[in-house]
Structure 1
Amino acid sequence: MEQDLIVVGSGNAALCAAIAASEKGARVLVIEKAPEDMAGGNTKYTAGAMRFAYDGGEDLQDLLLDPKDERLPRTDFGAYTAQKFRDDLLYFNDGRPLSPEQDKLVGRSLETMKWLAGHDVKFEPIYARQSFEKDGRLVFWGGLTLAAEDEGVGLFEAERAALLRAGGRIEYGLAAQSLLVEDGRVRGVTARREDGSTVDLRAQGVILGCGGFESSRELRHDFMGEEWEAARVRGTPHNTGDGLLMALELGAARHGLYSGAHATPMDRHMKEYGNLDIPHGDRKNYRKICYFLGVMVNAEGKRFVDEGKDFRNYTYAQYGKAVLDQPGQFAWQLFDAKTEDLLYAEYRFHDAHYVQADTIEDLCAKLEGVDASAALDTVRAFNAAVDDDTPFDPTIKDGRQARGLTPPRSNWAQRLDTPPFRAYPVTGGITFTYGGLKVDDAGAVLRPDDSPIPGLFACGEIVGGVFFNGYPGGSGLTSGAVFGRQAGYGAAASLSPAT
């Protein structure tokens, strides 16, 4: 069977592009360089959460897998307006105005979620990680409410099923190596099979949805800096920048912040890449993002970030880089027993590394690589600075500070005074890169003069200009869906009438 369009990659963005193009009647072939059990790009490694603008709980009803869930009547989803989404993105822009890509992300987020639901991709409230019970109500915080059923694996499987229902095809073990160009138009790809042989796959256009360059140590060094070589990769080992390099070779413009990335504190002793061999619900458990409930110290025994600056949805994608900037590129997160019930499952994960002691003195002595005396001084100074007059409330930015410290501690400060005490070693983990390609309103890849490269489209992590110095959690999958849908529609519209 011949194809009209080839989509490179099989993650969320690529599958959304393939679904959208198939919806418009295009014959779509998705090629994935990984074997079938490793397909799905970074999507399978995520918790499946998607951030989008909504005005109230009624906007969520059509998206829900179980609209009769008995918890819904006592759930307060609040609202997450388009303006709040824009403000949250601007918060990470380092003074830059909202980019055109960000404006599209916000403006098309809800309609894209409804579009996915129309293809039977449904979602569940994230009760376990995004709500706290308060006065008998389940109160959501931070603007992030829904995730795909069975998290990232479930999202991949639901989108793959939608593509297959629409008539699309997927071939695994085919790695795109170069773009075929005829008469100035991209007409397919040369792909390498698992046995090393190559094949030319022809089509009227190609959509690059094969991720960023976070899994290439060499490209991280070249584009981002030497310190990024040591980062653990949260997701697939296959996102090595292949699509980006192929497009740049054709004269595509670089776009976005190449030195930036989604970088999260991760278990210091995890493997270099994410692990699909463990149950999908456990893959996120190498993350360590409850620092806002404790204290984080570096090798010098000093705090180096405001652990309570904001909800962790707004800081976790930056604090991995903060850890990489520390001596030895590691830190320890310290907690006491008061927070045990609030710590996410990742801290109780069977493979979580930690040390435990009955006194803070003994705990600090167990922090490998840390100046124990300085760490003890840091904890004592923190404890003495906690504002006891302000109630602790994890459902809001409660203003409970540790006063007079550098760096400050703005919210959720509680003394570490209740044994047993635990500490978890962390390093920086990279999820995806921010630098990529520039695309137009049809998803076409642009040259430096803003002219499109005929027949070449892009979506997902490879699109630059969406994120800069960080992002509000859950925006990445939404961005993939928004720009995937755009690329699929744009590519389908570019086909010749004979198609």
Structure 2
Amino acid sequence: MYTSCILNEGWLEGKPLGLRIGEEREDMARRYDVVVVGGGNAAFCAAQAARERGARVILLEKAPEGWLGGNSYFTAGAFRVTFGGLDDLRPLLHESDEEMLSRTELPPYTAEDFMSDMERVTEGRCDPHLAGIMVEESGDIARWLRDKGIRWRLMYDRQAFEVDGRLRFWGGLVLGTVGGGKGLIEQHLASARRSGVEVRCSFAVKRLLRDHSGAVVGVEGEGPEGLEAVEAGAVVLACGGFESSAEMRSRHLGPQWAAAKVRGTPYNTGEGLEMALEVGAEPYGDWSGCHSIAWDAAAPPTGDRKLTNRYSKQSYPLGIVVNSEGRRFLDEGADFRNYTYARYGAEILRQPGGVAYQLFDAKTEPLLRKDEYDAPGVSRFQAGSIGELADHMRVDREGLERTVREFNAAVRPGRFDPSVKDGKRTEGIEPPKSNWALPLDTPPYYGFAVTCGITFTFGGLHVDGDARVLDTSRRPIPGLHAAGELVGGLFYHNYPGGSGLTSGAVFGRRAGHAAAAFAGGRAG
């Protein structure tokens, strides 16, 4: 556990603390109004928000420059936002294909829809105040980000199916950044530099600095030149959760989670949470829960900067999922994948060897997401029969043939439509498939080996509506704010797809504004 550092009497007398502990300097070159710790979407939003209020801002990132971006870099750049329909989103789009727009069906997604989704997937446990802020500001945050230089597109490739010549969006998630997560971070970085935010990589913050009143007045960290202190009027922690620490995963999620693959950055190892807890912050939210998905079994232990999110395998509602014994173990069609994928990774981890197999046939294979299922090096198998496919995948042949035979017999008649919950289901088998149930009966057959890929952890710090970190008495810790994945209380068990980046942006903006105001008041 890290310990906090109390500044010497010179701070109270108005003398600046130098770059190195114990040294004094005459200039104020390293004195900032706001220090932002982290380098992803939430951190950049906090830095930009503080800067637009006139604050002098530095963003400190533990990772080297080549790994800047945190988990945000590894996403598809999807933001869940409210909107009134296609005309409401048109002004946001970087480029428009009028022919495609003329065929696009985009029903409104209201604040009531968003809040209902939050309450449903978290089983009513999301903090209503924090969730309400995220929902109510989600539409405006997209416009704010556009004004900061973020370019938007409609995610036809990920969130729409063509049905009867119409392009139908489904699941409430439609807006993404041009270039995905890579594009999001590139655009954030360019915008931050234009606005005068200083960005420093390869600086690992180790502890929070406090004055004798207990207010946070900077950070201490280690850079290429050794241990340094950076003074500030306020600090924003936006440095992610603990998903990249096998030890913390085992401690909080369970011992089996040590084997999970990390979808994103290897640098989110929980130091931000620990240093905040050390100065009295209240832990909050689902510390035993996380966002985890079906992830290609051949993926490296942590994120790949080239393929980023292409190791994900999210077309499973169109087929069936089995374990190495050939048995199904979840309802692939329980809901749109936007509302099930973040918890199905945990279900895969519970299977023998922590591995499962997604199966499709010639009818459904053309509907798979090409960027994911045709990515280089994926664990892809193909065969002319189910038995041959089982042999190729090293799945129990008899078990898989029996499962497919029973599944096919259980499929009820009905019209298949992947753009709606079509009710085309099975009867008489467990687990059922509630929607999109098509028999696997048309060769060739395709299989994809998947494991559990952890995205981020749900447990975090308790913050108020201004993203001020609260202590265990639920009072704001002066000068300390938080945003992004280390904010607790929003997600339990599950989350609606795309709401992570939205939360990071909404609370990043609030944290930056509040930090700048606090720093300004302190200076005055």
Asked which structure has the greater CA Rg, the reply is 2
Q: 1:173 maps to what in 2?
A: 202
Partner of 2:233: 204
**What amino acid maps onto 1:55 in structure 2?**
G
* 8 Å CA contact 2:264, 2:308 repeated in 1: no
2:377 to 340, 351, 355: 351
Hey, what does 1:300 align to over in structure 2?
A: 325
For residue 98 of structure 1, report the CA deviation from its aligned partner. Answer: 5.2
SS of equivalent residue, structure 1 residue 29:
strand
Conservation of the 8 A alpha-carbon contact between 1:42 and 1:236: yes
Looking at structure 2, the residues matched to 72 and 320 of structure 1 have their Cα atoms a distance apart, in angstroms, of 34
How much has 1:94 moved relative to structure 2?
A: 2.4
Secondary structure of the residue that 2:367 maps to in structure 1? coil
Task: Select the residue among 34, 46, 71 that pairs with 1:5.
Answer: 34
1:188 equivalenced with 2:188 (yes/no): no
- Cα distance in 1 for partners of 2:242, 2:119 equals 24
Question: Which amino acid in structure 2 is aligned with residue 298 of structure 1?
Answer: N
Q: What pairs up with 1:261-410 in 2 under 5 angstroms? A: 261-276=290-305, 278=306, 282-345=307-370, 346-368=372-394, 370-387=395-412, 389-410=413-434
Residue identity matched to 1:352 = V
Residue by residue, what CA displacement relative to the aligned partner does 1:400-453 show, whole Å, maximum 9, x if unpaired?
Answer: 112111011111111111111111111111000000001112211111111111
The letter for the 2-side match of 1:167 is: G
What is the letter of the counterpart of residue 361 of structure 1? G
Corresponding residue pairs, total: 492
Identify the residue that residue 425 of structure 1 maps to in structure 2. Answer: 449
CA distance in 1, matches of 2:224, 2:326: 49
Identity of paired residues, percent?
48
Native 8 Å contact 1:62 1:117 kept in 2: no
Cα distance, 1:179 vs structure 2: 0.8
Whole-Å Cα distance in 2 between the matches of residues 175 and 99 of structure 1? Answer: 34
1:447 aligns to 2:465 (yes or no): no
Check the 8 A contact 2:126/2:492 in 1, yes or no: no
Identify which range, 317-326 or 54-63, moves more after superposition: 54-63
Q: Matched residues in 2 for 1:209 and 1:291: separation?
A: 32
Of 1, 17, 26, 2:55 maps to 26
Q: Determine if the alignment matches structure 1 residue 77 to structure 2 residue 73.
A: no
1:109 aligns with 2:135: no
**Contact 2:130–2:465, Cα closer than 8 Å, also in 1:** no
Paired residue secondary structure (2:143): helix
Structure 1 residues 68 and 378, CA gap change in structure 2 (3 angstroms): closer
Cα pair 1:211 1:461 within 8 Å, conserved: yes
* Deviation per residue, 1:441-478 (Å, 9 max, x gap): 22111111111111111000000011111111111100
* C-alpha separation in 2, matches of 1:442 and 1:105: 12
Q: Distance in 1 between matches of 2:149 and 2:329?
A: 45
Larger displacement relative to structure 2 (174-183 or 132-141): 132-141
Separation (CA, whole Å) in 1 of partners of 2:222 and 2:515: 24
Please say if residues 86 and 98 of structure 1, whose CA atoms lie closer than 8 Å, have aligned partners that are also in contact. Answer: no
SS of match in other structure, 2:347: helix
Please give the TM-score of this superposition, normalised by the length of structure 2.
0.92
Match status 1:100 vs 2:129: yes
Equivalent in 473, 483, 486 of residue 459 of structure 1? 483
Superposed displacement of residue 56, structure 1: 1.3
Tell me if 1:121 matches 2:150: yes
Residue 414 in structure 1 maps to residue 421 in structure 2: no
Does the Cα contact within 8 Å between 1:357 and 1:421 map onto a contact in 2? yes
CA–CA separation in structure 2 for the residues paired with 1:489 and 1:465? 21
Cα deviation 1:127-164 (Å, max 9, x = unaligned): 11111122322111111111101001111111222222
Return the offset for 1:300. 2.5
CA distance in 2 between partners of 1:340 and 1:93 (Å): 32
Structure 2 equivalent of residue 65 of structure 1: 94
In the TM superposition, what is the alpha-carbon distance from 1:67 to its structure 2 partner?
4.3
Q: CA deviation at 1:17?
A: 0.3
Deviates more, 1:207-216 or 1:489-498: 489-498
Deviation of the 1:239 alpha carbon: 0.4
Q: Does structure 1 conserve the Cα–Cα contact (< 8 Å) formed by 2:346 and 2:452? A: yes
**Distance in 2, Cα, partners of 1:453 & 1:162:** 30
Structure 1 CA distance for aligned equivalents of residues 222 and 64 of structure 2: 13
Question: Structure 1 residue 62: deviation in Å?
Answer: 2.4
- Which whole-Å CA distance do the structure 1 matches of 2:201 and 2:494 have between them? 33
* C-alpha distance in 1 between matches for 2:249 and 2:201: 26
Query: 1:74: Cα distance to partner?
Result: 2.2
1:343 counterpart letter in structure 2: L
Q: What one-letter code is carried by the residue in structure 2 that aligns with 1:312?
A: R
**Structure 2, unpaired ranges of 5+:** 1-28
Structure 1 residue 70, shift from structure 2 partner: 3.9
Structure 2 CA distance for partners of 1:402 and 1:68, relative to 1, 3 Å: closer
Q: What CA distance in whole angstroms lies between the structure 1 residues aligned with 2:126 and 2:337?
A: 23
**Distance in 1 between the 2:180 and 2:441 partners?**
36
Per-residue deviation, residues 86-111 of structure 1 (Å, max 9, x unmatched): 11111122243653221111111111
Q: Is the 8 A contact 1:90 1:98 kept in 2?
A: no
2: CA distance, partners of 1:409 / 1:76: 26
> Which amino acid counterpart does residue 124 of structure 1 have in structure 2?
R
Letter in 2 for 1:329: G
Distance 2:193 2:392 in 1: 53
Corresponding residue SS for 1:3: strand
Residue 316 of structure 1 aligns with an amino acid whose one-letter code is: Y
CA separation in 2, counterparts of 1:373 and 1:366? 14
Question: What amino acid sits opposite 2:446 in the alignment?
Answer: R
Task: Tell me, yes or no, if structure 1 residue 475 matches structure 2 residue 499.
Answer: yes
Listed as ranges, the gaps of 5+ residues in structure 1 are none
Distance 1:29 1:97, change over 3 A: closer
Structure 2: how far apart are the matches of 1:27 and 1:95? 40
Could you say which residue in structure 2 is the equivalent of 1:244? 273
| C-alpha distance in 2 between matches for 1:286 and 1:410 | 26
Counterpart residue type for residue 436 of structure 1: G
SS of 2:451 mapped into structure 1: strand
Cα RMSD (Å) of the superposition? 1.3
